[in-house]
Amino acid sequence: MKTQRGAALIMALLVVAIVAAIAAALITGEEIAIKRTEFTLNADQANLDLAYTGPWIITRLQQINKDFQQNAKMPTWPQTLHTTLTDNSELTIEFSPAGMRFNLNNLAQPISNYGFIFMNLLQMADDNISADQAKTILQNVQKELFNNNMQPGRANYIVSPSQLRLVDGITAKIYQTLIPYLIAVPDSNTAININAAPEFVLAALLSKDENAATSALDYRRNNGSFTNAGLFLGLPSVAPYAAQTPYLAQIISAQAIDKYYLAHITITRDHLQYQWYSILQFGVNRQTITTLYLGSSL
């Protein structure tokens, strides 16, 4: 009799344990469903909040243009906005001219003044790459661009720097090193913006001379933006390269307003962060912004 009672007790405890486990699983499943719904609602609201970015960037660019036209005041990059929206979302926008990066579509023509910059970028990304190897990789990239141009229905330009991964000679190391310094906008003559470009891009512009690039950054920190290309080209550390490369002045820009911009947008809601990268085209009428690309990465 005692054995039977013990077995019954064990069975009862087992049933209770199973019921408790099922209940816990149901509760956990319900909590997951609630969290998933909250996440979806927050993501949807964050996407709606993106609508604030265009008008703000237009307003800021119009003010930059006005300051330059009336007072010859040059902007500093990046431009940043942080504000709290009416739905309590935290919105942060950081944007700079696309010319802060190297535009891969500058290589669209077989003979490009920008080719030497790309070759320098390759050699800076991997010390083991010779000049001849860099030239071969450059030609491979140009072949990919031309293939795009010749095939109906495909983009006339590379649409994303990620396409570099398909090019012969582009290793994982090269790709990972260069991707923060590359962009793809639909233009084959996007000048390097000397007021926004980081040291790595400036060094590639100046024959891989990091000291010359540093001197340009020092000028920007101490004096503000270059008001014209001549000031940049006249720096003692830059002047020798300007003499060696007569067309250097044609592939750099110190303009206050550019055609293309790269924006990094962050929206924070309920301790969750949603981030986008956007490539924008500022209209020639200075009244419109067109989004060319919007994604979670470039």
Per-residue pLDDT for 20 more than 80? Answer: no
What is the domain count for the chain? 1
Note the pLDDT of residue 145.
66
CATH number at residue 88: 1.10.40.60
HEC assignment per residue over 257-294 = CCCEEEEEEEEEECCEEEEEEEEEEECCCCCCEEEEEE
pLDDT at 8: 65
The range of the structural domain enclosing residue 165 comes to: 1-298
Answer yes or no: is pLDDT of 14 > 90: no
Q: CA dihedral in degrees (101, 103, 107, 111; nearest 10)? A: -70
In angstroms, the CA 153 to CA 149 distance is 9
Higher pLDDT, 155 or 99: 99
pLDDT class of 152 with cuts at 50, 70, 90: very low
Q: Is the pLDDT of residue 157 over 90?
A: no
DSSP string across 53-119:
HHHHHHHHHHHHHHHHHHH-PPP-SSEEEEEE-TTS-EEEEEEEEGGGSEEGGGG-SSS-TTHHHHH
Q: What percent of the chain has pLDDT over 70?
A: 84
Confidence of residue 159 (pLDDT cuts 50, 70, 90): confident
Whether 34 has a pLDDT exceeding 70, the answer reads no
Q: What pLDDT, on a 0 to 100 scale, did the predictor assign at position 30? A: 67
Of 156-160, 186-190, 214-218, the least confident: 156-160
Strands 182-183 and 102-103: parallel
- Return the minimum-mean-pLDDT range out of 52-56, 152-156, 235-239: 152-156
Phi, psi of 13, deg, nearest 5: -65, -40
- Point out which residues pair with 291 in neighbouring strands: 280
Percent of the chain with pLDDT over 90: 60
* Whether the predicted pLDDT of 242 surpasses 90: yes
Q: 38-54: per-residue pLDDT in tens? A: 667 766 777 777 787 88
Read out DSSP for 133-183?
Answer: HHHHHHHHHHHHHHHHHHSTTS-SS---GGGGGGSTT--HHHHHHHGGGEE
pLDDT recorded at residue 286: 80
Cα–Cα dist 85/171, whole Å: 43
